Structure 1
Amino acid sequence: MISFNSSSSSLITNTRNLRRKHLKPYKGKWQQIFNEQQAMEALKKTATEQQQTQTQTQTQIPFLLSALINSFSIYSCEPTPSAYSFIIKTLTQNSQFNQLPFILDRIQNVEKFEPPEQIFSYLIRVYGYADMIDDAVELFFRIPSFRCTPSAVSLNALLYVLCKRKDCLQMVHEVLLKAQAMGIRLEESSFRILINALCKIKKIGYAIEILEMMFDYGYDPDSTLYSCILSAMCKIKGISSAEVLGFFEEMRRKRLSLNGLDYTNVIRLLVKVGKGMDALGLLEDMKLDGIKPDVVVYTVVLDGVIASGEFDKAEKLFDEMLVLGVIPDIQTYNVYLKGLCMQDKFDAGFKLVMCMEELGCKPDVSTYNTLIRALCKVGKVRRAKDEVLRKMKLKGLQENLHTYNILIEGFVSDGEVVEACKLFDDMLSKGFVPMSLTYDVIIGGLCKKGLISEALQMLEQMVKTDITPGVSAWESLLSTSEISLKEATSVDLVLS
């Protein structure tokens, strides 16, 4: 029989008390978590069952808020941030924005927990999507009153909202100043939002200032930010190519990782402003930097070199493409064909079209329009219509408005205004809407042939279809010395 002395009994009693002491907090915490989970389930169930049918006015306590309070009261626990996050998301998903002030006021004035910043950044973004900009700005400045320390997370949410709209950009400066007073430090992501927004609205000068400001904050801008600014610069109408090249060279000096798109944007700009040979030089730099040009870059440079009249260099460039295994596409062939036509090498042009078909690159309407335009330019309008247009139709391609305009202008220039009128009627029968320039060309041709009545009929047709005659049409009519009094009266009637 085992006996216990007094010291052993005392030890057992103390051990039991110690175990109870450790178990109570654990059990209490577990019970609290369980109760909170049960309250959340009750809240979600109530919201699902009744929220759709409950009608509220702006002065009533919102149904979801009442459900939240009741659910957590039943289980004797305090509402949690996740519970408030749930009802906020539910309300915003159902566009019940008028109930949000009640929710926010209770979080601010009644609850004691420190709400996570994600609640406010989410709500700021939602306000932005709902075009409630003032509410988004006001909420951002209220965040400290909710016992929450704002950071770049909520600031970035607001910046994103403001930068999406041009009319809100003027608010950014004030927001940044107040954010600084609130102790919020701009992060690299904040600068990215600002720079991207400024580039979209083509405020390049401000974007560069923000870029330079990053160094003051201890950030080192990467190549993606420079590329964003470079791309926007190249799209600005009338920008100096020297300014773009200067920024591009700065990127190279900083040893930033340039990509093919950076080169393509600058090359395209150079070609656009008529500096095709500079584009060719930049293509060489691109290859020296270890970046393989694709078919797009080669096509753009080829177009620039041809426009500069450097046909021998264009031939070498085209050959280089083939040697390097860059397969020409339809745009490349069309540009190369344009170069042949500029040299009046029509036979070579026809051979090229045949080669395109053999290589599986089917010529398009633009291909045939290039040939038609070139032939019309040297007075070979009949060949353009009877040979090229006929072949185009045999290949299953239909002429477009540009095709008609080229041929009509070609026939008028060749003195065959009757043939031009036939094409014009054919164009109308196929549903094309003529441009004012097309009318002007035909009216001018009719007047030169002395067909004033027909010219006046064409003018009347223009007016009936709400197409404004151009200056050349009026000049052709009014300068015709053979116009009769009756015809002059007709012109006056048209004008009235």
Structure 2
Amino acid sequence: MVRSHLSKRANKYLRKFRKWPHSPYKTSWHHNFAQDQAMQILKTATFQLGSVNNNNKGSLLSTLIDSFKSYSCDPTPKAYFFLIKALTQHSHFHDIPPVLDHIENMESFETPELMLMHVIRFYCYAGMVQDAVVLFYRIPRFRCTPTVRSLNLLISLLCRRPEWIGMVPSVLLKSQHMRIRFEESTFRVLIKALCGMKMVGYAVKMMKLMIEDGFSLDGEICSLIISSLCEQSDLTGKDALVVWGDMRKLGFSPGVMDYTNLMRFLVKEGKAMDAFQILNQMKEYGIKPDSVCYTIVMNGTVKEGDFVKLDELFEEMLNNLDEALKMVASMEDLGCKPNVVTYNTLLSALSMAGDLSKVRGLAKEMRLKGIEMNLHTYRIILDGFVGKAEIQEACVLLEEMLEKCFYPRSSTFDDIIVQMCQKGLIAEAFELMKKVAAKKIVPGARAWEALLLNSTSEFSYSQASFSELLRTE
């Protein structure tokens, strides 16, 4: 019994006087809860930011401080970032400096670089470029280690406008004192910005500095510089070829688009022969030119009047008829309209290949574009029809030729008569012979032979027809 009495007294003493340690989990939970409640007060205040009057705008910083103070906890970087985002969203320019000053002088946490980058971006978009540069220089004072991310951001923003780009050298110099190490990404940002501003000459110089600093050649950057050539005016065709050669020596492996862009620039500069050489270089390195490549170079040779090179290019294109057809389709877009000679060359190749569907399509395209077919055009198409024994289409086309006083080759006409006779079209063959004879065209021996051999069953008609033919002659 005594032991029990003493135990009760001891427990009562412990409950009254002993201080048990708080649970760490409970403490963390209370702390997080307090921060959440404080953030809720701040969010409620910022949601009303668009409607409050000017006298109340400045109270948001006080709201942040007081809300966290009322819950016995310190303001977090997240809370300040939320406040800054709200102020920038509503363009409250004058309320941002007090917040930044308070973070710099009154807080002790390490300020996230992302928060400061957000303000830098906002300042530049608002045209407050000097404020953006000053804030970049202040980054270490916020207990934040500046990195190449903030440097790249500021440079890319400064390069957006020609009047700001003059500040870039001083920023780059200052960044070295801030111990920000240049990376390949920094050069990439600069080169892209310069190309975007059509200052390709400076972009090339920056690329050379990049190589001198020990960085490897970036194929994407090389392609960007080449693609920007046609939109700038500070490089000549000769300069472009030097840059191209330097890139190749450094290991740049251009693709079809790179070759295309360079040839387009050279033609624009009136250097069609150099573009022709680049085309040959392309083939030497095992890269197959497409229709666009050929069209660009052909456009240049037309402008310079080098029709020998033009024929050479076109004949080469005929090895791939599909690409040749694409080339003709794109010539007009490049300001080099295909003419009847261009179409005749294609029609000849298609006819020899026996692709009559494409022959028909190309002939229709000529008519739609108002390109008049000449004697050579008709003969090419007619030979194609005869070669495939499409005798009905051949006869229709021949009728059209005769109306325009265009005459087929004697051998082609003989083939038509022979095929008509083979198909039993004897009467039609005689009618055609009459029309041809009326035009003072003398059929060949094969045509007469075919008619004689196939006219025995219709002797009376044939005899009369021969008499008419003889009188016509």
TM-score over 0.5 for the pair: yes
Contact 1:88/1:100 (<8 A) preserved = yes
Name the structure 2 match of 1:172: 168
Contact persistence 2:61–2:99 (CA under 8 A): yes
Q: Aligned in 2, Cα 1:188/1:337: closer, same or farther, shift over 3 Å? A: closer
Query: Judging changes above 3 Å, is the alpha-carbon distance between structure 1 residues 344 and 163 closer, same or farther for their aligned structure 2 residues?
Result: closer
The verdict on how the C-alpha distance between 1:114 and 1:360 changes in structure 2, with shifts beyond 3 A counting, is: farther
Q: Which residue of structure 2 aligns with residue 73 of structure 1? A: 69
Query: What's the counterpart of residue 228 of structure 1?
Result: 224
For 1:374-402, what per-residue CA distance to the aligned partner results, in whole angstroms no more than 9, with x for missing partners?
Answer: x9xxxxxxxxxxxxxxxxxxxxxxxxxxx
Amino acid at match of 1:124: I
Residues 363 and 36 (structure 1), Cα distance of their counterparts in 2 relative to 1, 3 Å cut: farther
Matched, 1:99 2:95: yes
Partner of 1:209: 205
TM-score normalised per structure 1: 0.61
Partners of 2:166 and 2:121 in 1: how far apart? 18
Q: What's the CA shift for 1:281?
A: 3.2
Query: 1:343 Cα deviation (Å)?
Result: 9.7
**Could you say if the C-alpha distance between residues 316 and 305 of structure 1 is closer, same or farther in structure 2, counting changes exceeding 3 Å?**
farther
**Aligned residue type for 2:186:** S
The one of 143, 147, 156 equivalent to 1:147 is 143
Contact 1:267 1:279 in 2 (8 A): yes
**Aligned twin of 2:104:** 108
Residue of structure 2 in register with 1:129 after alignment? 125
Aligned partner (choices 179, 182, 187) of residue 183 of structure 2: 187
SS of residue in 1 equivalent to 2:296 = helix
Distance 1:356 1:150, change over 3 A: farther
> What is the CA–CA distance in structure 2 between the aligned matches of 1:316 and 1:72, rounded to whole Å?
81
**Distance (Å, rounded) in 1 between the aligned partners of 2:165 and 2:155:** 9
State whether structure 2 residue 355 is matched by structure 1 residue 358: no
Deviation at 1:248, TM superposition (A): 1.2
How big is each residue's C-alpha offset from its partner over 1:86-129, in whole Å with a ceiling of 9 and x where there is no partner?
Answer: 11011111111111011111111111211101011111011111
Partner of 1:143: helix, strand, or coil?
A: helix
2:42 is matched with: 43
**Equivalent residue letter for 2:275:** A
Contact 1:260/1:293 (8 A) holds in 2: yes
Q: Distance in 2 between matches of 1:35 and 1:337?
A: 74
- The structure number with the bigger radius of gyration is 2
> Per-residue displacement from partner, 1:31-86 (whole Å, max 9, x unpaired)?
222221222223212322x32332125xx771321221222122211110011101
Q: Secondary structure at the match of 2:190?
A: helix
Q: Deviations over 1:16-42 (max 9, x none)?
A: xxxx76x63343233222221222223
Q: Tell whether the 8 Å contact from 1:276 to 1:304 is kept in structure 2 after alignment.
A: yes
- The change in CA–CA distance for 1:288 and 1:361 in structure 2 (over 3 A counts) is farther
Residue 251 (structure 1) aligned with residue 247 (structure 2): yes
Structure 2 residue identity aligned to 1:247: V
Q: Aligned in 2, Cα 1:156/1:78: closer, same or farther, shift over 3 Å?
A: same
Aligned match of 2:426:
none
Q: How does 1:316-335 map to 2 (within 5 A)?
A: 316-322=315-321, 327-328=326-327, 330-332=329-331
The 3 A distance-change label for structure 1 pair 53 and 288 is same
Amino acid at match of 1:38: Q
Against the structure 1 CA distance between its residues 344 and 293, is the aligned structure 2 distance closer, same or farther, given a 3 Å change threshold? Answer: closer
- SS for the counterpart of 1:167 is coil
RMSD between superposed Cα atoms in Å: 3.8
Specify the alignment match of 2:307 in structure 1.
Answer: 309
**AA aligned opposite 1:56:** N
State how far apart, in whole Å, the 2-side matches of 1:142 and 1:364 are: 71
Confirm or deny: 8 A CA contact 2:68 2:75 kept in the other structure. Answer: yes
User: How much has 1:329 moved relative to structure 2?
Assistant: 5.5
Structure 1 pair 102/208, CA: closer, same or farther in 2 (3 Å)? same
Distance 1:199-1:356 versus aligned 2 partners, 3 A rule: farther
What's the CA shift for 1:210? 2.1
Query: Which position in structure 1 is the counterpart of 2:156?
Result: 160
Distance 1:238 1:362 in 2: 41
The one-letter amino acid paired with 2:139 is I
Aligned residues: 349
Structure 2: 5+ residue stretches without partners: 4-19, 352-356, 375-473
Does the 8 A contact of 1:286 with 1:293 survive in 2? yes
**1:464 match:** none
- Residue equivalent to 1:24: 23
- Matching of residues 376-395 of structure 1 within 5 Å: none
